[in-house]
Amino acid sequence: MINVARWKVVLVVLATLYGILFTLPNLLPASARDSLPAFMPRQILNLGLDLQGGSYLLYEVDTQALRAERLTNLAEDARTELRNADIQFTGLGVVNGEVVVRINDAAQVEAAAKALRSTLGAPLAGAAGGRDVTISVESDQRIRIVFVAQALQAQAAKAVDQSIEVIRRRIDELGTKEPDIRRQGSNRISIAAPGESDPEKLKAIVGQTAKLTFQMVDETADLAAAQAGRVPPGSIMVQGDDLAPFYVVKRRALVTGEMLTDAGSAFDQQTGRPIVTFRFNGVGAKKFGEATSANVGKRFAIVLDNKVISAPTIINPITGGNGQITGNFTTESANNLAILLRAGALPAPLTVQEQQTVSAELGADAIRAGAFSLVIGGIAIIVFIVLAYGLFGVFAALALIVNVMLILGIMSMTQATLTFPGIAGLILTLAVAVDANVLIYERVRDEAHAGRTPIMALEHGYSRALVSILDANITSAISAVIMFQFGSGPIRGFAWTLLIGVITSVFTAVVITQVLIGWWFRIAKPKALPIE
């Protein structure tokens, strides 16, 4: 006990310096942090939604719309393949969640099934194939194409995961720090955006599907007939722009927004109006170039979420892979559309299930209440430990202060988010740390009462109490890991703070107090311990 290992001394000094350096920026105003030397850390704690204020949204992924879109695409794939194979058919469409088509010539039914198999990747007998569909041939010359149930479930789960990533990219573009975006249940997504006080702005960016397609305008369509519901096969009617109330466009898109590599807002050099510029990847540039080369003089529609933004005429082939979208944009709407295009489209529509706004004033009240609780709890713990164990209690109090600095330092360095439950976890951590010192000191006191010398009492007290301390803290750490893994929002904040606190508490309660008592013992050379 007297000869404390040098590595422990070095470790205690480094840990204390670390705690001071990484906690200090949290106590300084922004101007002072900016003027710190380059080698000094500047990270500070991120405050959670309940402390900083912000917006909370709960979305539900519309998996039914996703299924309908997949079925529509499947029907269009079948239409294209049958036409390429020069097979006459009627009645192609989606009926009761199945794609149904009737082949006119009975002699071509098998040929049609083989053609669909080659494209859709499904066997004739009806087993699941490469596209996770089944094909069956009916006696009345009808062919049914059905998605396997497991395939639809997998697509829905994938859509939720993709939606989370798209939402994260969109919110990052807004500059919101540490958004908490996570799945709830099978098809819901919760979003907590600290510091974002305008939920409507958040909804405008997050909730828009932003599915961009470039589709040829069907110039042969009878607009009056289309408005009455008689749309030509292979075409659809979509909402129009200022020039026309609606357009009839080819269902098959030339290229999609998934082929974009970049998008930004700018101003038209001729009119000075806001526009959105975009750039295709190699595949998109090639497809767009081929499509515009083959359709010079015709119109194509730029469609965003089933609404035409613009429908220009192709004057010359566009082969460079770059383009621009004009429309009735404001500077803000052009920038928002660029953000959506850069982040990517949502695979399925989202519907708002819950919306909450936490004001900054409420957050400030929570911070004051949490800080007051932390100070009162800390003072009460320090008073108790000093009154109970005298000088050794002072050593434990010093270790407790280092413990708090280590927790705040680690959370600042990792840019963790501090929530109100996290403050509760911090207070609980202080109690757990003191509990470790109580175990040690009570064990030392028992050893001294048993007649051991001060040196032996300290040695036995630390070594025998360590087993109980590790058992208790490992149990707490396991609980914290489980809560962090399966919890959400405030529960994760509490669990993360508790987990860090468990680790630092063992270190400060055992190592730091051991070093301090070792130094004191070497200087004072006591005949009896102050806690006997």
Q: What is the per-residue pLDDT for 490?
A: 67
Q: What is the per-residue pLDDT for 422?
A: 76
Give the confidence band of 17 by pLDDT, cuts at 50, 70, 90: very high
Q: What are phi and psi of 356, to 5 degrees?
A: -140, 150
Single pTM value for the model: 0.60
Q: Where are the alpha helices (DSSP H) in 96-222?
A: 109-120, 149-174, 199-206
Question: Which of 65-69, 185-189, 204-208 is predicted least confidently?
Answer: 204-208
Q: What are phi and psi of 147, to 5 degrees?
A: -75, 140
Average pLDDT over residues 239-256: 85
Choose the most confident range, by mean pLDDT, from 168-172, 297-301, 491-495. Answer: 297-301
Tokens read off for 462: 């630390």
Q: How many residues make up the chain in this entry? A: 532
What's the whole-number average pLDDT of the chain?
83
Tell me the C-alpha distance between 334 and 344, whole Å. Answer: 15
Q: What is the per-residue pLDDT for 3?
A: 60
Average pLDDT over residues 157-168: 84
Please choose, from the candidates 143, 74, 46, 132, the residue with its C-alpha nearest in 3D space to the C-alpha of residue 103. Answer: 143
Q: What is the per-residue pLDDT for 177?
A: 60
Q: What is the per-residue pLDDT for 451?
A: 83
119 or 362, which is more confident? 119
CB 465 within 8 A of CB 443: yes
Q: What is the pLDDT of residues 399-427, one digit of tens each?
A: 989 998 998 888 888 877 777 777 777 77
12 residue type, one letter? V
Q: What is the per-residue pLDDT for 2?
A: 53
Return all residues near 279 (Cβ < 8 A) that are at least 6 apart. 260, 261, 262, 263, 321, 322, 323
pLDDT at 125 over 70: no
pLDDT at 124 over 60: no
112 residue type, one letter? A
Q: What is the per-residue pLDDT for 24?
A: 87
Using DSSP's 3-state secondary structure scheme, residue 309 falls into: strand
First CA to last CA distance, the chain: 17
What does DSSP assign to residue 29?
-
Tell me the C-alpha distance between 123 and 364, whole Å. Answer: 63
CB 530 within 8 A of CB 458: no
Q: What is the pLDDT of residues 44-103, one digit of tens each?
A: 877 777 777 778 888 998 888 888 888 888 888 888 888 888 999 998 888 888 899 999
Please choose, from the candidates 416, 431, 510, the residue with its C-alpha nearest in 3D space to the C-alpha of residue 465. Answer: 510
Look at strands 46-47 and 417-418 and give their pairing. Answer: parallel
Average pLDDT over residues 212-229: 87
